A and B are shown apart, each in its own frame.
Chain A
Amino acid sequence: MSLNCKDLLGLEHLDKKDLQTILGSVKLFKSLFTRSVKKVPTLVGKTVVILFYEPSTRTRTSFEIAAKRLSADVVNVTVSTSSIVKGECLIDTGKTLEAMKADYIIVRHSLAGAPAILARNLSASIINAGDGFHEHPTQGLLDLYTMYEKKKKLERLKVLLVGDILHSRVAKSNIWALTKMGAQVAVSGPPTLIPAGIEDLGVKVYYDLDEAVKQVDVVNILRIQLERQKENLFPSVYEYVELYQLTKERLRSAKKDVLIMHPGPMNRGIEISSDVADSSNAVINEQVTNGIAVRMAVLYLLNPKRKNESSN
């Protein structure tokens, strides 16, 4: 069982069968977590480089743990954002890592398409750990898995994404994965944070959050970057909280067993109230646990192709 591709750049490029394959593997890897020895020898002798051009704790740690549980050798490389413009160019950095025989390069970058450019220029497997406003495929997969695990189905599942859809790579990956699996996806946020042509992706748009939460099965809340206010995308944090904070009050019209998700890190008291974040409907910490299993599955299922590799 494997995916027929070298890289994971986005969920746009996967089909339903691929997604089902991944979900199946995640379940297997997750079952390891309750054992006393959580490690398997799947990637012994393989080198995984985690190349992050943006600060991240959660995703980087998650990938590192995933790779280590598969017995890979893991190297962390953090590049400060300022050197994107000034320092060594992306392709040269990639080629340097390849010369060190990295089998997998997991890349996070503030600019969309950076992993695609690496994938085009290198033979190592490239895994996109979030690129600009493009995609964050492993987050999309862990959200998908968490919904599937909790709701036992994805077909016709009603999922609402709330907040800054325009700048959210998480939203994009969620939309691709969920629509491919037959879920009904809606987004809610101010018109200034809804990207052009989003309806073409099979998504319903609600400006009114109270209207949007009615009868939904899952609410996935996105982090709002406070600096968006300076771009006049919303007038003030106060007003954003008034209109888009997910509160207990607002959730009354949702289903009783509505699932509350957040990719983290949360701005408590801004996009989500603490009582919602800490409620029994919230599965935010389970998302983190599932993230490791998802990343193990992805590392396991991709097919790194190495030029001139001697047989082993």
Chain B
Amino acid sequence: MSLQIKNIRIVDPSCNKDFVGDIYIENGKIVSSLSSKADKIVDGKGKIAVPGLIDVHSHLREPGQEGKETIYTGTRSAAKGGITTVFCMPNTKPLIDNAPTVEFILLKAQKEGLINVFPVGCATKGSFGQELSEIGVLKKAGIVAVSDDGAPVSNSQIMRRTLEYTKMFNLPVISHSEDKELSKNGVMNEGRNSTILGLRGIPKQAEEIMVSRDIMLAELTGGYLHIAHISTSGSVELVRQAKKKGVKVTAETCPHYFTLTDDVVKVYDANTKMNPPLREQKDVDAIKQGLADGTIDAIATDHAPHTQDEKNQEFDLAPFGIIGFETMLSLVLNELVDKKILSFSEAISKMTSNPAEIFNLNGRGSLEQGSIADITIIDPQYSYEFNKESIVSKSKNSPFLGRQFKGGAVMTIVDGNIVWQSS
């Protein structure tokens, strides 16, 4: 199977290229020319080809919570958002703390998935934060990073050991930075709005204390620390200073943290409830600044599907999390590129070449010759309203329902195959 995409603007941040030309794909790889006539030719006029988007933070819910999402539905949702690779977090049931679960997910993804699915393994057995999981065995089974995500390692000794032990496997440790005692019972950002709404607050320091601790432990151990979904100006500054000092730390944020503030919680809509919570304008500004100056390396979705019944109840009772696959690219384009926070190429790098480099995804995140042919085709003129009816994910819990977007994915190619295109 070979494919030619003609007359398309090619933007490849991995090698700083931006030109109009053709892309040739043969046997799932990007090549300089085809050995024979293309099996399929796509006209790329007016469109932009970028390396396939890589989302390093998502929850696919399978196994165990298939009512919210499955590998089948989740990968289709991601493909529609132009995403060709997702990392799935280990808080499934059972947890991804054993090789058979890794193998199950990989097998299921191969059978029913539309895009690449890379599991993240638990840092500790059962994510209890007590004993290291069998990280070597998990790595062999196919994990790309370790994390206890929403059940973060609170014991500093265990976190030290995790950062130390993973060094020999070259596996990044993803930290969901949260001091669980300080955030206890909190459901939104602590401040004026939590006071007015009468909801228990989560102070920014609950995140920053752990960002700070983990940076210090990364410095101590030389382990590779990746901070997940940073949401506060303080966290941005901590990562900025750590990078200056030469600590091996990278960071990601999510589209909602550079788009929304806790003002949107106002009507107790649980689609605005996520962890970490939406913060204040100065945090949104700091996140944008951090993206612009390179402190924040990556943009991920933290796609966290929950059913409508779970979300349509008292704010305190609703679970944390929002879906994100189908809005990430458009939010990046509208909130960062259109508002001149990042250039188009810089913005794309946060979802392609940077995550590929951080997590050693060889052959991905690039359109260079020899790369795996994961490609996202963007139509900058594509205007649409994001609404429930159009959502492919099994869950509909998004604070962006009803929002108008301009610019988005119109075709997604994985391993040289067109897995999704807009109708």
User: What residues of chain A have their CB less than 8 Å away from a CB belonging to chain B?
Assistant: 12, 84-85, 89-91, 109, 111-114, 116-117, 120-121, 131-135, 169, 172, 195-198, 200-201
Contact = CB atoms under 8 A, between A and B. Distances in A.
Given A133-B199, A169-B198, 6 more contacts: A109-B314, A116-B268, A195-B194, A195-B195, A197-B194, A201-B195
B314 A134 contact: no
Contact of A117 (B195, B196, B199, B313): B313
Contacts of B42: none
Contacts of B190: 196
Contacts, number: 72
A235 to B, nearest CB: 19
13 contacts: A111-B315, A113-B198, A113-B268, A117-B313, A133-B198, A133-B199, A133-B200, A172-B195, A196-B190, A197-B192, A197-B195, A201-B192, A201-B196
A112 B197 contact: yes
B191 A196 contact: yes
Interface string B194-212: 1111111101000000000
Contacts of A195: 194-195
B389 interface: no
B314 A196 contact: no
Contact of B198 (A172, A197, A201): A172
Interface of B: 190-201, 203, 267-268, 309, 312-317
B192 A111 contact: no
B318 to A, nearest CB: 10
B195 A112 contact: no
Given A91-B312, A132-B198, A169-B198, A200 B192 contact: yes
A135 B198 CA distance: 7
Contacts of A132: 198-199, 316
A252 to B, nearest CB: 32
A90 B314 contact: yes
A202 B191 CA distance: 15
B191 to A, nearest CB: 5
A109 B315 CA distance: 12
A282 to B, nearest CB: 28
Contacts of B192: 196-197, 200-201
Contact of A113 (B191, B193, B199): B199
Nearest to B190: A196
A84 B318 CA distance: 12
Nearest to B195: A195
A82 to B, nearest CB: 13
A172 B309 CA distance: 30
Contact of B315 (A112, A121, A201): A112
